[in-house]
Amino acid sequence: MKQKIALFCNVCEDAVVEALDVQSIYEVPLMYKNDGLDDLILNFLQLSSKKGDLKDWKDRVVNVLKNPAAACRIAVVGKYITLQDAYKSIYEALVHGGIANAARVEIVKIDSEDVKAHKTSALFCGVDGILVPGGFGYRGIEGKINAIEFARKEGIPYFGICLGMQTAVIEFARNACVLKGANSTEFDPKTPYPVISLLEEQKSVRIKGASMRLGAYPCRLAPASSAHAAYRRSLISERHRHRYEFNRDFKKIMEKRGLRIAGASPSGELVEIVELKDHPWFVAVQFHPEFKSRPDGAHPLFREFIRAAIENR
């Protein structure tokens, strides 16, 4: 077969490399290695390199995926669930968190609009953790808030990312702080309690892109917080893509009711991470940690979220 392909494609036989179906995408490097693709490329480019056997990758990633010691089910509640690749980086980061805990992660995809239309307890039956990812626009927001309320009250590990943090703040303001009608000014410009809003200097900006926080920003973590325990350091840097921020006018009342500011900009002006004190694991971040997660190096927050979900089974 290789001889025939080489003849009719006008390449040498060694340059025909198999790409067989595999159980996990993370097996692909091993398959290409076994078929000599690395040597082929090095020879073609006349490069030299020390020999590698990918043993560490096989042991720490592929074998763990194939032979997990534990398992958990994570519900991802989003408005773009029907689009296969909309949350691809989130799904892979959850798998990375599973690898770090020698666990298989089963992802349960839940449309946030269904959460509002159906009984919450039925939708999340058998779920060990709930994650609400980022997004824009009002559609599906109330369903996300319902899901977060369920996680908060039932003691289910919760991880909020970007909009998942903002909706967590809205839910806490409405139901724990009894601020009826609390919302983000993105969804309700006339809300009596704008717990999420634009910064004053952003309000005069009319072009949306110009008011976004984009790229890496530093964040200082609070001691004894879940975030600090995950990162194991006090100062971090994470990637952002959003416009609206936590409104610090409501900081005191929320802290009084049990919300903790676990991470903020070095100046203290911008809230980056919120947590709940009396909860097994409830962490919501304004940034996108999934972009820095790797199969052989899970992001600390995904690693600890999956660890909490396993313990919650």
Active site residue 27: no
Residue type, 95: V
Out of 228, 240, 279, 288, pick the active-site residue.
288
CA nearest neighbour of 160 among 178, 179, 141, 174? 141
CA distance linking residue 141 with residue 134, whole number of Å: 11
Of the candidates 72, 149, 162, 279, the residue annotated as catalytic is 162
For residue 290, indicate whether it is catalytic: yes
d(CA 200, CA 226) in angstroms, rounded, equals 30
Token digits for 95? Answer: 């798998």
Of 275, 290, 299, 304, which residue is the catalytic one?
A: 290
Mutual angle of helices 141-154 and 163-175, in 10-degree steps? 70
Buried b (16+ CB within 10 A) or exposed e, 282-304: bbbbbbbbbebbebeebbbbbbb
| Residue 64 CB contacts under 8 Å (≥ 6 apart), including other chains | 99, 102
Where in the sequence numbering do the catalytic residues fall? 162, 288, 290
